[in-house]
Amino acid sequence: MVAISGVAMGVDPRSIGGGLLLAPLLFYFIYVEDRRGGTAEDEINQPHRTRLVRRYQTELLATELLALLGYELVVCLLVFQTATANVSDLLFAQVPLVVLGSYGWLKRYPTLDSIGVGFTWAFVAVFSVVAATHQQYSLEGVAVFFGWFLITAAGVESRNIQDITGDTRANKTTLAGYLGPRTASLLVRLLKAGGVVVFWVVSGTFVAGLVLCYLLALSVFRRLTRLHRRNASSETGQHSTHG
């Protein structure tokens, strides 16, 4: 996401340097922290993963804290060593953490869940480029942010579609559950298409093609994840039967 954002904003991805580390470090911290705070719907939708998280709580906590420390260190280096960022960027860098702090509240409402995740991912994709280069915040950056926002929000609802049954059993309402699988799937396609169109309008065919490749890669990994989930569930069922 960061490299594509750089290209879309007219920046050579190689010049982003340490900024490329910001997104993976922060996303890892957010992802693990969210998984460690397991919910009732997680136990239904992801029983195998939930058991693993409970088993390795301490190890996961240690790695997520290291990721957060790495994120803050990279931001400080960009501010005080490379001087591509300024002190105000230290405050901007904390915005995703503020969203994370309110995520438990956001997840109570069908649309705010997707909006919160979409905002955070899109913000980090643009912030990483600006903080690591001499690129300034601009309307082009806002457009890139909006493109990623649409795509990421769609990704959240795409996952929610797969979890409708479990979410319903856990009395959790998501936008996908409210709309139903067919309408939600249509919405996901429209949002992703809208995101690609934004990149095409702002940066041209090449960047839009990169975004499509990114979405294709996500689709492949999601299919592999679903296959792993089915295999894990099957093995769990066999152990329960023989046990």
What is the C-alpha to C-alpha distance for residues 196 and 36, in angstroms, rounded to an integer?
Answer: 33
Place of tokens 């409970």: 54
Distances from the Cα of 26 to the Cαs of 37, 101, 168, in angstroms? 17, 14, 30
Chain segment 215-237, per-residue pLDDT in tens: 999 888 878 876 766 665 555 44
Query: Quick one: three-class SS letters along 38-91?
Result: CCHHHHHHCHHHHHHHHHCHHHHHHHHHHHHHHHHHHHHHHHHCCCCCCHHHHH
Whose structure tokens read 């959240």? 156
pLDDT tens string 131-145: 888 777 888 889 999
Euclidean distance between the first and final Cα of the chain, in Å?
45
The string over 133-150, giving b where at least 16 C-beta atoms fall within 10 Å of a residue's C-beta and e elsewhere, is bebeeeebbebbbbbbbb
Specify the pTM: 0.82
